[in-house]
Structure 1
Amino acid sequence: MRLAVLLASALVAGCTLATSPAPESPAPRGLTPDGEGLQPAGTDLRIDFGRAQDGVIDAVTRLLGQPPADITRNPECGAGLVTAAYWPNGLTLNFTQGDFTGWVVTEPGLATAGPLAVGQLPPAVAMEETTLGREFERNGVWALVEDGSPEISALWSGTTCFFR
């Protein structure tokens, strides 16, 4: 009888373990900047312009797996006082009055919706000559091709007072 109880207990314990849910895989990391803000990888949720600075910085820190390398303020921007959070991958997020108002990408590796990426050749589009070089826009994302270079050197959308 005692053996039957032990076998029954082991069988129930084994069934319980077998029906336990498998551990969840980690959430995807990364994001795609676009003309309306940021699209986190693996979700339909968005981080659009107008969101609160602290929440945006926390979310992007989780998505990129690291905090910003620096947070700086520029009172001399044409848009007013702008706070910028810089990540080592070349992403800068700009905030005005505590709201997410723009982003800038200045390093290869982070493609935007479209897709456009720093370091790639620009598509065949009409470009506007500016004091910085040649610029073009696609779906709310602006790109800069500096004079003397055939490749895109910066991408941005929204408020853009900071380039690093």
Structure 2
Amino acid sequence: MRIVLPFLTVLALALPGRADTYWPGPGDIVTPHAGGLDLSSADGMAREGMPFGSSFHETMHTLVPIFGHDVSVAFPQECGEGPLVSVHIPGQINLMFQEDQLAGWMLIDDSALRTATGLHVGAPRMALADEGAVSCTETGIGTEFGAGDLFGLLSEDGTTIQGIWSGATCIFR
């Protein structure tokens, strides 16, 4: 018993130090960029991001405490990128996983997120000027734009950004 008591005391003293380690939670900020996702705590302190290639488990383990458990998982059958797993987090982001790794993201519909450069769904087309060289192409889904490794879709009238994505997607044109 005398051996156990000092061990438990040392263990108890070590635990408060772990309270200072980062654990994601509501209010934290997820910022999509051309190579994956960045993460900041609610106080603005930058944290380790989740680049493309991050595991499904690691990504979801990080995002669920931030966004909650309201997620939908789908397995699109015919994607040009090959077999994908799609995770939809309503009002936030769609994530694409391939072979258990984060492979892409999409901001669509009512997404509240902004890219690292400030682009967001509903932003005016003029916001693309800050992206540098932007190309626009008419496709089967409308006017698509490309700015480096960021891509997206403009509204029917071409005045606002309707969607933004990077990496693997499952878009039928």
The aligned amino acid for 2:124 is L
Q: 2: distance between equivalents of 1:121 and 1:154? A: 12
Instruction: Name the CA shift for 1:128/1:149 in 2 (closer, same or farther; >3 Å).
Output: closer
* SS of the residue 2:119 aligns to: coil
Cα–Cα, structure 1 residues 79 and 68, in superposed 2: closer, same or farther, change >3 Å?
Answer: farther
**Shift of residue 26, structure 1, vs aligned partner:** 8.3
1:119 aligned onto 2:118? no
How far apart are residue 85 of structure 1 and its match? 0.8
Asked whether the equivalents of residues 40 and 63 of structure 1 are also in contact (C-alpha less than 8 Å), the reply is no
Name the aligned partner's letter for residue 85 of structure 1. Answer: V
Instruction: Flag the 1:53–1:162 CA change in 2: closer, same or farther, 3 A.
Output: farther
25-34 or 150-159, which deviates more: 25-34
Structure 2 stretches lacking a partner, 5+ long? 1-18
User: After TM superposition, where is structure 1 displaced by more than 4 Å over at least 4 residues in a row?
Assistant: 23-28
Q: Percent identity?
A: 26
Determine the C-alpha separation between the residues in 1 that align with 2:38 and 2:143. Answer: 27
Residues 76 and 84, structure 2, Cα contact 8 Å, conserved in 1: yes
> What's the offset of the Cα at 1:116?
0.5
What is residue 83 of structure 1 aligned with on the other side?
Answer: 85
Alignment of 1:14-163 (within 5 A): 29-41=28-40, 42-64=45-67, 66-106=68-108, 107-122=110-125, 123-124=128-129, 125-161=134-170
SS at match of 1:62: helix
**Which of these two proteins has the greater Rg computed from alpha carbons?**
1
Shift of the 139–115 alpha-carbon distance from structure 1 to 2, 3 Å rule, reads: farther
Query: Is the 1:94–1:162 Cα contact (8 Å) retained in structure 2?
Result: no
Aligned counterparts of 1:79 and 1:26: Cα–Cα separation in 2:
33
Q: 1:132–1:146: 8 Å Cα contact kept in structure 2?
A: no
Aligned-pair CA distance for 1:156: 0.4
d(CA) in 1 for partners of 2:106, 2:147 = 15
Q: Distance in 2 between matches of 1:72 and 1:26?
A: 27
Which amino acid in 1 is paired with 2:144? E
Q: Give, in whole Å, the separation in 1 of the partners of 2:86 and 2:171.
A: 7
C-alpha contact (below 8 Å) 1:84/1:162 kept by paired residues = no
Number of aligned residue pairs = 142
Contact 2:90 2:111 survives alignment (8 Å) = no
Q: CA contact under 8 A between 2:121 and 2:162: conserved in structure 1? A: yes
| RMSD between superposed Cα atoms in Å | 2.6
Counterpart CA distance in 2 for 1:141 and 1:62 is: 27
Counterpart Cα distance in 2 of 1:93 and 1:36 = 13
State the TM-score, normalized to the length of structure 2.
Answer: 0.72
